[in-house]
Structure 1
């Protein structure tokens, strides 16, 4: 069975595993380190920011179950800000986050963005490694202890295509099963 990308919103029932696991992960990795309630990051932005025309939210479904996902929102006129890259704990180490990042990059291009900006936390070395591997430029000194910065910013330039190919919420596209 082929995996498929499903464009939706963070409020869709299929997105609940993403929201719950990512909230738990942020809470357990950071606690109140940033002087916030544990898991506060997941309620920082309203769902509407991750919807067209300025943003988007995608899940990777396998047999109808969300196994990975991510989103972007407008950062500035030419830049999207990638958020919520996540892989279900049962499906890690299969390259799924890399698929999500690539799909979100394509969708950002479809929506007219020429650059992606993102931040990840210093206690997420696997995310830092992923972004470096897929061509993101760190906007910090990688030789310095990441805790010095707290949040680690990255950017990547994209090739812009017409916005007419935007995938609206509820659209699907299939992948070959890995």
Structure 2
């Protein structure tokens, strides 16, 4: 994987909307319907969230993903959670490590924002997504969110480790 151009954007920016439309089409193909989870651009505003796009060398957006802060709720979230949403790589850019790179950026930014656990919901009809997350240290967690009662839902999580703090001598 060569250098990539990762940019912070708004969830409702035109390029983000274009990729969101593509991921929704993929959900329809795999599950028969798009993701009905309530989403709002304000959910991804720093420091309570972040939305990123990856652009190829031609300036075309090829991957997206974001996280939003979550607190303890009846939907199964815990205080300190950062929920990953809309991780997606366009078909022609898959297999280049872009999702892994994007995930690392999301984890680092959530950690820097004080989040303690990264969580996500995917589905059994997305085995490549499950494989990516498991290979990055994500483990099954109790189901949460809109699809927590759906038999196809898979919820995964990973504890976020704060960056070590240097002492006065810079060690």
Tell me the TM-score normalised to structure 2 length.
0.79
Runs of 4+ in structure 1 deviating by more than 4 angstroms, as ranges, are: none
Instruction: Measure the CA separation in 1 of the matches of 2:47 and 2:126.
Output: 30
Considering fraction of residues, name the structure with more helix: 1
Q: Give me the whole-angstrom Cα distance separating, in 2, the residues matched to 1:119 and 1:14.
A: 23
In the TM superposition, what are the counterparts of 1:1-178 in structure 2 within 5 Å?
A: 2-31=3-32, 38-41=33-36, 44-63=38-57, 64-76=59-71, 77-139=79-141, 149-161=151-163
- Residues 3-35 of structure 1 show CA distances to partners (whole Å, capped at 9, x for unaligned) of 21100112112223311210100111111xxxx
Q: Which runs of 5+ in 2 are unaligned?
A: 72-78, 143-149, 165-171
Aligned length: 148
Q: Tell me the C-alpha RMSD between the 2 structures.
A: 1.9
Structure 1: which 5+ residue stretches go unaligned? Answer: 32-37, 141-147, 163-178
CA distance in 1, matches of 2:40, 2:62: 22
Deviation of the 1:139 alpha carbon: 2.6
Change (3 A) 1:132 1:40: closer
Bigger Cα displacement from structure 2, 107-116 vs 13-22? 13-22
Deviation track 1:143-171 (CA, whole Å, cap 9, x = no partner) reads xxxxx832101110112259xxxxxxxxx
Mapped partners of 1:40, 1:134: distance in 2: 24
Partners of 2:31 and 2:45 in 1: how far apart? 27
| Secondary structure at the counterpart of residue 122 of structure 2 | strand
Give the alignment's TM-score, normalised by structure 1: 0.76
C-alpha deviation, 1:122, in angstroms? 1.4
SS of residue in 2 equivalent to 1:69? strand
